[in-house]
């Protein structure tokens, strides 16, 4: 098993359980020195796509999963890593019990553009399901977004 740090809709343990049934939630924590942003608007069907970029002044809430080998190809496909849109990178997650080295997905496109209101809602709901702090969830819900979309 390898550790995977989810910052998007995979934060939701129930959703991740449906996508990767052999990969349990290990813990939650923070990617310090990173920030959640959006990019690749030209690649998304409904606005810009979520990603993370290094930023020494911020942190991103994540859920860490133990990903089973049989789930890895499904996760790569779901996250469009199999097409080259996202790539894997290793990160250090700070948890209540110590640091964990995990991999996560980073968008291979330029930062910029607005996500859809639907995506912002899905990200906030997923963070809430993972027991992210209320101020983090609230900040997600307040992010600028496109008013059109689903």
Nearest C-alpha neighbor of 33 from the set 51, 58, 64, 14:
58
Q: Which residues of 27-61 are buried (b: 16+ CB within 10 A; e: fewer)?
A: bbbbbeebebbbbbbebbeebbbbbbeeeeebbbb
134 has catalytic annotation: no
Query: Which is the catalytic residue, given 41, 42, 72, 79?
Result: 79
Report the alpha-carbon distance of residue 65 to residue 85 in Å, rounded. 22
**Among candidate residues 81, 98, 101, the one with its CA nearest the CA of residue 10:** 81
Active site residues: 79
């Amino acid at each position: 098993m390898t550790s995977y740090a989810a910052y998007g809709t995979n934060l939701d343990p129930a959703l991740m359980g449906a996508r990767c049934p052999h990969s349990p939630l290990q813990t939650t924590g923070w990617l310090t020195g990173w920030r959640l942003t959006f990019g690749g608007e030209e690649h998304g069907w409904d606005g810009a796509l979520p990603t993370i970029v290094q930023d020494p002044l911020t942190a991103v809430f994540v859920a860490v999963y133990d990903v089973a080998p049989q789930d890895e190809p499904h996760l790569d496909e779901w996250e469009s890593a199999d097409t080259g849109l996202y790539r894997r990178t290793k990160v250090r997650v700070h948890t209540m019990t110590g640091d964990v080295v995990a991999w996560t997905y980073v968008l291979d496109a330029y930062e910029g553009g607005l996500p859809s209101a639907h995506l912002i809602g899905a990200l906030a709901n997923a963070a809430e399901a993972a027991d992210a702090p209320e101020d983090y969830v609230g900040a997600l819900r307040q992010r600028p977004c496109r008013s059109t979309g689903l």
